[in-house]
Structure 1
Amino acid sequence: MSTRLAILCPGQGGQHPAMFDLARTDPQASALLDNCLSVARLGIPLQEILADNDLLFSNRMAQPLIVAAAMATWEAIRHDVPAPALVAGYSIGEVAAYGVAGALAAVDTVALAVSRARLMDGCMKTMPEQALVAISGLSYRAAAPVLQQCGFHLAIATGEDTFIAGGSARLLVELQRLIPGSGGHLTVLPVAVASHTPCMAPAVAPFAEALGRHRLADPAIPVLSGISAEQVFRADKAISHLSRQIAEPIRWADCMDACAEAGVTVALELGPGAALSRMLHARHPQIECRAVAEFRSIGGVKTWLTRHFD
């Protein structure tokens, strides 16, 4: 079997103060990162954001920073690794995936992340307090009546008995009481917007317009659609799916299966964090999975990949 590489681009949750340190060791990646951060117009010194979890995990800061980290890391390794067979991104990571796939310039991916965060934050005007929760030990179908009772919706399907749901924080206490009674375990995530649920519907059309303004091109590498797990080859389909995923559930379990079905044998997560590579390896142990965050140097990443492609 020939070796086939997948690049994974993470969503929110893995941010940390040292999330740019590895990319900074590469001069080209560091210069690209500076350009990306300039486009992000954070309004607060980066070191202050990195030192403050409330800022680092705020939607407005998190989305462009995560995309900037992915793009800078990819810049550090892309000239010395085999061409990926496909790219997959989780939530905001799907925007970064189109940057990795050559459909967007790095600075444009960050600019789109800024627009996406702003539009999603704007949805808070109709529902000021929102929440995302991870539920395990319970299938979505079994949990659906409780979720409906509490005004929560499926946001991301990650496995047969694991998923993420979003809704109004006003009924979160009730959901925390009912889910354990149904046999599940609930964890509140450090995300204040109910991404990938109908709560975000007002952001869909404006974000599609933003994608059009940035002239998203056909990807040179197929990108998995989060909402369908299909391989996307055309810009028009990318615009439709990228905008819709703001308010529609992400089928991440299906995306992981699609990697296996496409013959992927090696997967590298760009970071920050290592959640996607761990999920993929747990579901498909035959795929060699690592995250850049697990290495001490960019050279170590390249050596690991070279070993699998020799």
Structure 2
Amino acid sequence: MAGRLAILCPGQGAQHAGMFDLARLDPGASGLLDEWFVEPRLAPVLRASVESEERFANRIAQPSIVAATLAIWTALRARLPEPALVAGYSIGELSAYGVAGALDPGSTVKLAIERARVMDTCLEGEAAQAMVALSGMPDGSVEALLARFGYYAAIVTGDDALVAGGPAAQGEALAQAALAAGGRATLLPVAVASHTPLLQAAVAPFAALLEKQRWSAPAFPVLSGISAEPVTDAKKAMRELPRQIAEPILWRECMDACVEAGVTVALELGPGAALARMLQARHPGIACRSVSEFRSLDGIHSWLGRQLD
């Protein structure tokens, strides 16, 4: 029996200067990147993503992650079987609709620029924001701890693991309190509290932008981050994509949905391997790798061929 493939689209955090290099081994993907790197709206942010340390700024990170994800998908897709589903983590959910063909690749990268812009608007005149990854906390203690420091659950990544967003001034104190309680905490290189009520003002403007796009029905299901349900039509996508800016991402449930869909193999696109590692840890029966673990496109196809036979 042939395996079933899931495609995973990463969020921010692992971007680096060489994140387009593997995609450039394919002529089609390289040509697409050449177009983007001279296109007036895209060139400044994409060049900054490889030439400066600004690559972690929201306005650079979001479009560059989407561009890297869609470029490697362009390089790989002709030799891949149709995925059973695609799931995206945070900004990766926008990439997922590009992977599924619901949005044109170039338009998807431009939407990422606009998504970052409307999210950054929520910071104007407001206190700086931050995100903290927490895990291993004693049962029942997380909610009270978050409330104490003005933080919100942003991304649920496991049974005892989540990413929280809130005021940057309280980030270090939250992390220290979590450690003192016996948990683990990591301050993330993100300056906006995505997927929390602090970003509510960005939802309506992004929804309006999505309404202006030319949409197609996804070629295969996209998992909704806020419900972990498969999305198969553009209208539902336009309703749920804006909401996830200010509502928690249920990534744990998205990983479980992969099992429910019969997925046996998962490939993470773009830089980093966090999603592949999380899925492998939660569901060891799924063979998981990231493209970042390979040195060639043939290596990726060879591994997928062995796993999917």
TM-score, normalising length: structure 2: 0.95
The equivalent of 1:112 in structure 2 is: 111
**How do residues 199-278 of structure 1 correspond to structure 2 at under 5 angstroms?**
199-278=198-277
SS, match of residue 125 in structure 1 = coil
Which residue of structure 2 lines up, in the alignment, with residue 52 of structure 1?
52
Query: What are the residue-to-residue correspondences of 1:118-137 with 2, within 5 Å?
Result: 118-137=117-136
Corresponding residue for 2:22? 22
Identity of aligned residues (%): 56
What SS does the corresponding residue of 1:61 show, helix, strand or coil? helix
Q: Deviations over 1:224-270 (max 9, x none)?
A: 00000000011111111110000000000000000011000011011
Letter of the 1:82 counterpart: P
> Once the 2 structures are TM-superposed, how far is the Cα of residue 45 of structure 1 from its aligned partner?
7.2
Which residue number in structure 1 is paired with residue 306 of structure 2? Answer: 307
Query: Which is further off, 215-224 or 84-93?
Result: 215-224
SS at match of 2:122: helix
1:184: how far off?
A: 1.4
Mapping of 1:168-187 within 5 angstroms?
168-187=167-186
Alpha carbons of structure 1 residues 233 and 139: separation in structure 2 relative to 1, 3 Å: farther
Q: Which runs of 5+ in 2 are unaligned?
A: none
Q: Which amino acid aligns with 2:258?
A: C
Q: What SS is found at the alignment partner of 1:167?
A: strand
AA paired with 1:15?
Q
* Preserved CA contact (<8 Å) 1:139 1:162: no
CA shift for structure 1 position 41: 3.0
Q: By how many angstroms is 1:79 displaced?
A: 0.5
How many equivalent residue pairs? 308
In structure 1, give the amino acid aligned to 2:158. G
CA distance in 2, matches of 1:179, 1:119: 31
Give CA deviations for 1:51-97 in whole Å, capped at 9, x if unaligned. 433x0100000000000001110000100111101000000000000
Q: Which residue of structure 1 aligns with residue 42 of structure 2?
A: 41
Conserved? CA contact 2:6–2:263, under 8 Å: yes
Q: Distance in 2 between matches of 1:143 and 1:284?
A: 24
- Opposite residue 9 of structure 2, the aligned amino acid is C
Tell me, yes or no, if the aligned pair for 1:12 and 1:63 is still in contact at 8 Å: yes
Aligned residue type for 1:24: R
TM-score normalised by length of structure 1: 0.95
Kept after mapping to 1: 8 A contact 2:17/2:51: yes
Gaps of 5+ in 1: none
Give how far 1:306 is off. 1.9
Contact 1:102 1:219 in 2 (8 A): yes
Q: State which drifts further: 169-178 or 247-256.
A: 169-178
Secondary structure of 1:8 counterpart: strand
Q: 1:151 to 1:42 in 2, by over 3 A?
A: farther
SS in 1 for 2:305: helix
CA-CA distance at 1:30 after TM superposition: 0.8
Q: CA RMSD in A?
A: 1.6
Whether the 8 Å contact between 1:143 and 1:182 is mirrored in structure 2 is no
Rounded to whole Å, the distance in 1 between the matches of 2:217 and 2:139 is: 34
- The DSSP-based 3-state class of the residue aligned with 1:43 is helix
The secondary structure found in structure 2 opposite 1:102 is coil
Q: Any idea what the Cα deviations from partners look like across 1:138-192, whole Å, max 9, x if unmatched?
A: 1684211111111100000000111100001122233133222222121100000
Whole-angstrom CA distance in 1 between matches of 2:125 and 2:248? 20
* Aligned match of 1:89: 88
Question: Matches of 2:233 and 2:175 in 1, distance apart?
Answer: 42
Structure 1 residue identity aligned to 2:5: L
Amino acid at match of 1:30: S
CA contact (8 A) 2:5 2:308 kept: no
For the 8 Å contact 1:40–1:64, the answer to whether it is kept is: no
User: Are 2:114 and 2:206, in contact at CA under 8 Å, matched by a contact in 1?
Assistant: yes
